[in-house]
Amino acid sequence: ADAVIIPIQCEYYALEGLGKLLNTIKSVQKIHNAELDIEGLLLTMYDSRLRLSNQVVAEVKKHFHNMVFKTIIQRNIRLGEAPSYGESIIAYDATSKGAVNYINLAHEILKKKNNG
């Protein structure tokens, strides 16, 4: 792999785990793959009704502003159901919030790649 996307659940222990994961990635870069790039941090399982979700978003953006994708993956029942039917969210329900979020993420990544 030449890049990683780091998913961060908008939940309590997410920030604690993020620091450990970043250290692991630095080790991989140092020992195995100096070209490994962090494509970005992806906020997931976001629920705008929860204060905790909003706090996690604020903290991640505060500390890693330029690394955070603009697209946020919202908590969505359809995202949880799709794998149990052996389908991607796009095949299962392309109009669900989760599918739209992931499509927007794909567009964001492609735009970033095309603009250098």
Structural contact between residues 33 and 27, judged by C-beta atoms closer than 8 angstroms: no
Output the average pLDDT for the chain. 94
Give the contacts of 39 (CB within 8 A, at least 6 positions apart): 3, 4, 5, 109
Q: What is the pLDDT of residue 95?
A: 97
Q: 103 is written with which tokens?
A: 């499509």
Q: Where are the chain's structural domains? A: 1-75, 77-115
Question: Over 80: is that where the pLDDT of 78 sits?
Answer: yes
Give the contacts of 27 (CB within 8 A, at least 6 positions apart): none
Which tens digits make up the pLDDT trace of 83-98? 999 999 999 999 999 9
What is the band of 116 on the pLDDT scale with cuts at 50, 70, 90? low
Which tens digits make up the pLDDT trace of 5-42? 999 999 988 888 898 999 999 999 999 999 999 999 99
For range 61-75, the mean pLDDT: 96
Q: What is the pLDDT of residue 107?
A: 98
